[in-house]
């Protein structure tokens, strides 16, 4: 679809969405009135900047159902995402919302090359988290066979993956890494598995992690992106080119803004991703601030898809650590670790404050073949990674080398940071 055609569709859908929220949601009507605007001020997608932003705090303040724009009798599903503090945020879907969600996940799977002949093991958690049920509906939508494992019970996961001949695996990249390790430890030859495709997301991951997962599992590993507030997984997904995540912008309109000034950044520049849903009925979102930091690529992709692409998420404007005045993203540390063959892709960042100075410790697992009782060898290894981190982050870290398999494995989103500072 040409850009012009896309913008036409986006304009029509934005106007419908604004009408809906203005008339059906006290929350949005009040916000628009505060800015002195009515639906008549929105004539096309070019007017998006006139609309107010929405934040996670707005969802918390209106817990549980304050942002619904459909009567509860039309809501057929609720999901929730655990907030870092206090109450969860709750989202509601109409039947039509579920159909759109299934469709966008199906688009991602199709772009990975999944067909009705494939069996997909869904190892995202099922329940209030959107990962399990979202991926599940997408597989069903294209007529594939779902293996609804949910997360956990890792031995059984690999046994059934093996026995059922799963061709695809959908889970977080960190859990995929754990499953890969477990397969290797099980002694079952990789050749006996039929895995071909991974649909990994729900947490930031790097190119190096992709390489490692592809090598360890003999698969192609693809990104799937999404967030509860917008629908769940499937807001975007990679294609065979593995060169940016296509965002399904006929349903979710993306903008990139400066997280401080909230003004749009120049095309292609890095900033905070903001979404406006264009077809949602239950709980449409107007200019929702994701806190995810990335950039958008409007050039046509080699795969032929014209949907805008998003670069890898560099982190979130709110999970960024400021250590001794320096901005640090856990994803940068992960990249360094994965570049070095001596380490397992498992690490833990511990931040604290002693004598008014931040302490910054990176615990990392040494691979079995590099692990040694010889102090000199371990010291040299410590120095090596220490230098590399210093040059990438511009700040020095205390390195703690730990034994293979000693850092706790996650069955969902990995916990990479312990911040003990009380600031
Ligand atoms: O994580 C939805 C999801 C499930 C996406 C399964 C993909 C697969 P939330 O729990 O609301 O929803 O977390 C959303 O997770 O704002 C990002 O910060 C992060 N995130 C999600 N996907 C990716 C990804 C689900 N592919 C938050 N790369 C988002 C990097 C991701 N970060």
Interval between CA 368 and ligand 1 midpoint (Å) = 32
Q: What is the pTM of this model?
A: 0.87
Which residues lie below 8 Å from residue 363, measured CB to CB, with a gap of 6+? 347, 348, 349, 350, 400, 402, 407
Q: Which residue has the higher pLDDT, 327 or 127?
A: 127
Q: Give the pLDDT confidence of 168-223 residue by residue, as tens digits.
A: 999 999 889 989 999 999 999 999 999 999 999 998 888 988 999 999 999 999 99
Q: Find where tokens 């390195």 sit.
A: 399
The per-residue pLDDT for 410 is 86
Which residues lie below 8 Å from residue 222, measured CB to CB, with a gap of 6+? 108, 111, 112, 197, 198, 199, 200, 237, 238, 242
Q: Which residue has the higher pLDDT, 89 or 285?
A: 285
Q: How many CA atoms lie within 13 A of 115 on its CB side?
A: 2
Q: Is the pLDDT of residue 87 over 70?
A: no
DSSP 200-245: EESS---HHHHHHHHHHHTSEEEEEEEETTTTEEEEEEE-TT-SSE
Q: Is the pLDDT of residue 416 over 80?
A: yes
Interval between CA 233 and ligand 1 midpoint (Å) = 7
Q: How many CB atoms within 10 Å of residue 20?
A: 17
Q: Measured between alpha carbons, how far is 284 from 17 in angstroms, rounded to an integer? A: 7
Q: How many CA atoms lie within 13 A of 364 on its CB side?
A: 29
What residue owns the CA closest to ligand 1's atom 18? Answer: 292
What residue owns the CA closest to ligand 1's atom 6? Answer: 131
Q: Give the pLDDT confidence of 236-288 residue by residue, as tens digits.
A: 999 999 999 999 999 999 999 999 999 999 999 999 999 999 999 999 999 99
CA angle 98, 248, 19 (to 5 degrees): 65
Cβ–Cβ under 8 Å, residues 17 and 100: no
What mean pLDDT, rounded, does the chain reach? 94
Residues having CB within 6 Å of any atom of ligand 1: 81, 124, 130-131, 201-204, 223-228, 232-233, 290, 292, 313, 316
Cβ–Cβ under 8 Å, residues 326 and 397: no
């Amino acid at each position: 679809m040409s850009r012009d055609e896309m913008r036409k569709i986006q304009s029509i859908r934005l106007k419908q969405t604004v009408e809906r929220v203005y008339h059906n949601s006290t929350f949005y009507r009040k916000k628009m009135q505060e800015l002195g605007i009515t639906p008549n001020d929105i004539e096309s997608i070019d007017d998006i900047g006139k609309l107010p932003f929405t934040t996670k705090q707005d969802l918390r303040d209106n817990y549980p159902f304050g942002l619904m724009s459909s009567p509860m009798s039309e809501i057929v599903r609720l999901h929730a995402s655990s907030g870092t503090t206090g109450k969860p945020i709750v989202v509601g879907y109409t039947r039509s919302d579920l159909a759109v969600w299934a469709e966008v996940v199906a688009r991602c799977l199709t772009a990975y090359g999944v067909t009705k002949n494939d069996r997909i093991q869904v190892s995202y958690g099922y329940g209030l988290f959107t990962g399990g049920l979202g991926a599940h509906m997408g597989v069903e939508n294209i007529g594939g066979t779902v293996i609804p494992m949910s997360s956990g019970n890792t031995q059984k996961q690999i046994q059934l993956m093996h026995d059922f001949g799963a061709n695809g695996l959908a889970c977080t990249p960190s859990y995929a890494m754990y499953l890969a390790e477990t397969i290797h430890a099980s002694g079952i030859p990789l050749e006996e598995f039929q895995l071909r495709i991974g649909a990994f997301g729900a947490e930031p991951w790097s190119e190096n992690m992709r390489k490692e997962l592809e090598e360890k599992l003999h698969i192609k590993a693809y990104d799937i992106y999404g967030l509860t507030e917008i629908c769940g997984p499937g807001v975007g997904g990679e294609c065979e080119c593995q060169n940016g995540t296509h965002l399904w912008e006929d349903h979710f309109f993306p903008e990139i803004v400066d997280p401080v000034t909230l003004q749009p950044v120049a095309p292609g520049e890095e900033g905070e991703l903001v979404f406006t849903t264009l077809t949602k009925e239950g709980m449409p979102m107007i200019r929702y601030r994701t806190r995810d930091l990335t950039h958008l690529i409007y050039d046509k992709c080699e795969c032929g898809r014209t949907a805008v692409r998003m670069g890898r998420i560099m982190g979130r404007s709110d999970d960024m650590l400021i250590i001794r005045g320096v901005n640090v993203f856990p994803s940068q540390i992960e990249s360094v670790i994965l570049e070095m063959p001596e380490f397992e892709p498992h690490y833990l960042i511990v931040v604290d404050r002693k004598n008014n100075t931040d302490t910054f410790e990176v615990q990392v697992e040494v691979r079995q073949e590099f692990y040694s009782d010889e102090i000199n060898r371990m010291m040299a290894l410590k120095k090596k990674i220490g230098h590399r981190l210093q040059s990438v982050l511009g700040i020095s870290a205390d390195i703690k080398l730990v034994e293979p398999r000693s850092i706790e494995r996650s069955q969902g989103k990995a916990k990479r940071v312990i911040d003990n500072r009380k600031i």
